[in-house]
């Protein structure tokens, strides 16, 4: 027997959604509208390109990803660029997380100086554009401390994202109930032990979703180091274009490669979250 008698007068109290809203809200119509809009954008750009007399050369693109020559299989420039981007992003991420954790702990501490240092760092970094920060590290601090391009890039990305990551970590740490601190203190744990064994393990699930967003953000913002000619995906794209003038094909390809990486990452982490969403 069905639990609810939907014919009963009290269920009629809810006004029906206007039919126009129901029409546009239904799944097939939404998808159709979405496809039409995307189609118009793609068509528009291709039509525009045709009017410019643009000479499409998509057939040349695969060679920049990989080739089969007499010597066998070889990765192309874009593939090497991707590896360089991943390498750069990973190194910067590790640095940013360590620095971010330090900043977060300083802000959460009772030390007045620590608090001031952390807050000063946050405000400084958050209020300087990433590009200007990169110029500072490369053109100003670079000569002073002897950073090469690569080091300057890592430092820029690391420092910039450390500020954002520290806020994620702080929020995650604060999300753990205060009672956990009290229970851990009352069995005599030190501050360090409380963080390590009690608070951080519980904060991870609060941090994972925003941290994924942050990694995606970092991979995308790593493109900015192409302005100081660090060899990575975007720089490779620029170099190929200056040789071949295939700007449309190359920029589409580069965009798709970034998307493929970041989407894989997001989907992967969503899977992890589901898998480790234990009910405790």
Partner 1 sequence: MTKNAPIIEAASLDKFYGSFHALKDVDLTVHQGEKMVICGPSGSGKSTLIRCFNGLEWHNSGQLVIDSIEVHQNAKEIRALRQEVGMVFQQFNLFPHLTVLENLTIGPVKVRKISKDKAEKTARNYLDRVHIPEQADKYPAQLSGGQQQRVAIARSLCMEPRIMLFDEPTSALDPEMINEVLDVMVELAETGMTMVVVTHEMGFARKVADTMVFMEGGRIVEVSPPEKFFTDPASDRCRLFLNQILEH
Residue ranges binding partner 1 (CB under 8 A) = 177, 179-180, 182-190, 193, 197-198, 201-202, 278-280
Neighbours of 87 (CB within 10 A): 14
Q: How far is the CB of 279 from partner 1 (least distance, A)?
A: 6
Q: How far is the CB of 201 from partner 1 (least distance, A)?
A: 5
Name the β-bridge partners of 67: 74
Q: How far is the CB of 270 from partner 1 (least distance, A)?
A: 21
Task: Closer to partner 1 by CB, 75 or 197: give it.
Answer: 197
Task: Closer to partner 1 by CB, 71 or 279: give it.
Answer: 279
Name the β-bridge partners of 75: 66
First-to-final CA distance of the chain? 35
Q: How far is the CB of 151 from partner 1 (least distance, A)?
A: 38
Hey, CA dihedral for 50, 52, 53, 56, is it positive or negative?
negative
Q: How far is the CB of 198 from partner 1 (least distance, A)?
A: 6
Task: Closer to partner 1 by CB, 28 or 179: give it.
Answer: 179
**Spatial distance between the Cα atoms of 81 and 232, rounded to a whole number of angstroms:** 4
Task: Closer to partner 1 by CB, 147 or 181: give it.
Answer: 181
Task: Closer to partner 1 by CB, 149 or 205: give it.
Answer: 205
């Amino acid at each position: 027997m069905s639990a609810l008698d939907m014919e009963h007068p009290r269920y009629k109290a809810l006004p029906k959604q206007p039919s126009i809203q129901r029409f546009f809200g239904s799944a097939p119509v939404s998808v159709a509208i979405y496809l039409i809009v995307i189609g118009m954008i793609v068509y528009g750009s291709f039509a525009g390109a045709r009017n410019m007399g643009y000479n499409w050369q998509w057939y040349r693109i695969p060679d920049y990803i990989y080739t089969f020559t007499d010597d066998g299989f070889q990765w192309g420039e874009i593939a090497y660029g991707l590896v360089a981007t991943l390498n750069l992003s990973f190194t910067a991420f590790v640095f940013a997380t360590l620095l971010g954790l330090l900043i977060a702990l300083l802000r959460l501490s009772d030390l007045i100086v620590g608090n001031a240092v952390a807050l000063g760092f946050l405000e400084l970094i958050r209020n300087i554009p990433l590009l200007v920060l990169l110029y500072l590290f490369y053109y100003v601090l670079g000569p002073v401390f002897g950073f090469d391009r690569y080091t300057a890039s890592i430092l820029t990305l690391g420092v910039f994202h450390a500020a954002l990551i520290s806020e994620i970590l702080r929020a995650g740490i604060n999300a753990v109930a205060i009672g956990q601190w009290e229970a851990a203190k009352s069995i005599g744990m030190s501050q360090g032990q409380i963080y390590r064994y009690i608070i951080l393990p519980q904060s991870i699930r609060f941090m994972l979703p925003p941290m994924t967003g942050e990694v995606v953000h970092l991979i995308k913002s790593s493109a900015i180091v192409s302005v100081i000619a660090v060899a990575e995906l975007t720089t490779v794209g620029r170099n190929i274009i200056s040789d071949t003038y295939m700007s449309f094909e190359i920029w589409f390809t580069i965009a798709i490669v970034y998307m493929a990486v970041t989407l894989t990452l997001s989907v992967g982490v969503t899977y992890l979250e589901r898998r480790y969403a234990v009910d405790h």
